[in-house]
Amino acid sequence: MKIPPPHYLVPILTFLAGATVGMLIPGGDEKLSEAAKTTTGVVPGDKSDAPAVPSENQGPTANEVFSATTLKPVEGEPLPPAHDGDLQAADLNTRLQAMSAAWTQMQADVARLAERVEGVERKLAPTDGPSEAVGEGKAPPTRASTLEDRRTALVTAGVTANRAADIVWRQAQMELDRLELRDIAIREGWFGSDRYREEASLIRKDALDLRAEIGEESYDRYLYAAGTDNRVEITSIIPGSSAEDAGLQAGDLVEYYGGDRIFRVNELRSATSEGERGELVQVRIRRGDEVVDAWLPRGPLGVYLDSAVVDPDA
C-alpha cells in the first residue's frame, strides 16, 4: 500500500478530528459536512477521491498557530481556518475545566465547613466535670446555688447541722429584706435615692458576718465546699515592681497580707490601700507545697491577679 505524502496528512487528520467533534456537539452532522468540505474539498458521499490542495493564502502556517483539534501540524504546511466545530469543542473544553475547578473549590469549602462544625461541637460537648482546682489537680465541688447547698457546705466545713440550718435561714431573711426594700423603693419612686442607700446600708450592717461567726478556718472550708473562690493567685509580675523586687512569682497564692487572711481579690486590693503608704508589711504566699514570707511596702504590688478555688485540706 502506498503511503500518502506528508502534506496530505493534515487535511485527512483534520477531517477525522472534525468528525469526532461533530458526534459530541449538537448539529454535528452539518458541521462535519462543512469541516469536510473545507479541509478536503469533498462532501461525504461524493465519489471524487481527489483531495483539494489548500492554497498558499488559506491561513497561517503551523509555525504561527495550532488548530483547535490539538493535532500537531506538519512543519511548513498551512492550517485550515477554524470552523464552528472547533470553536464549540474549545468552548466545551473551557467549560469543563471551569466546572472541574468549581467542583474542587466546593469540596475544599465543604471540608473547611466540616472542620468548623466539628470545632463548635467540641466546644458545646459536655465535659466530665468542673475545671481542676488550682494547684490541686482535682475538680472542686459544684458551686452552691440553693439554700440546701449552702447548708450542706456548712456541714461539710465542720458546722453542726442545727447551726448550719439557722445560719442559712438568717441569710435567707436578709436577702428577703433586701428584695422588699428594693420593691417598695421602686413602687414609691425613691429607688436609688439617699433614703434607699441609707436603709440598704442598715440591712448590710445587720447582715450575718459568716466569716466571723464560724471562724476563718471553717470559713475557708465552707468557701471550698460551696465551690466559691477562696484564694488569690498571682498570674504575672510587672517588671520593676515591688513584687518583682521581693521575689514573688507567677502562680503564687497570696494567703496573708499584713497579718490579715486573704480569700478574695477585693480583700487584697483593699488591704494594700489601707495603713501608711510605704510601710513594710508581711505577705505570706504559698508556692506549691512551700510557704514563703516576703516583706513589701504597703501600696500597689505590681501584679496581675486572679481568683482560684483550692482545697484548704490538701
Kindly report, residue by residue over 185-228, the tens digit of the pLDDT: 999 999 999 999 999 999 988 888 999 999 999 999 999 999 99
Dist. CA 141–CA 138, nearest whole Å: 10
Side chain identity at 53, as an amino acid letter?
V
Which helix (DSSP H) or strand (DSSP E) does residue 224 occupy? helix 216-225
Neighbours of 303 (CB within 10 A): 22
Which helix (DSSP H) or strand (DSSP E) does residue 269 occupy? helix 265-273
Q: Where are the domains of the chain?
A: 1-125, 147-225, 231-308
**DSSP summary character for residue 262:** -
Architecture of domain 231-308: Roll (2.30)
Q: Which pTM value belongs to this model?
A: 0.55
Q: What is the mean pLDDT of residues 93-120?
A: 69
Higher pLDDT, 140 or 137: 140
Higher pLDDT, 108 or 303: 303
Which pLDDT tens digit goes with each residue over 31-87?
444 544 444 444 444 444 444 444 444 544 444 444 444 444 445 555 555 556 666
In which residue are the cell numbers 431573711 written? 173
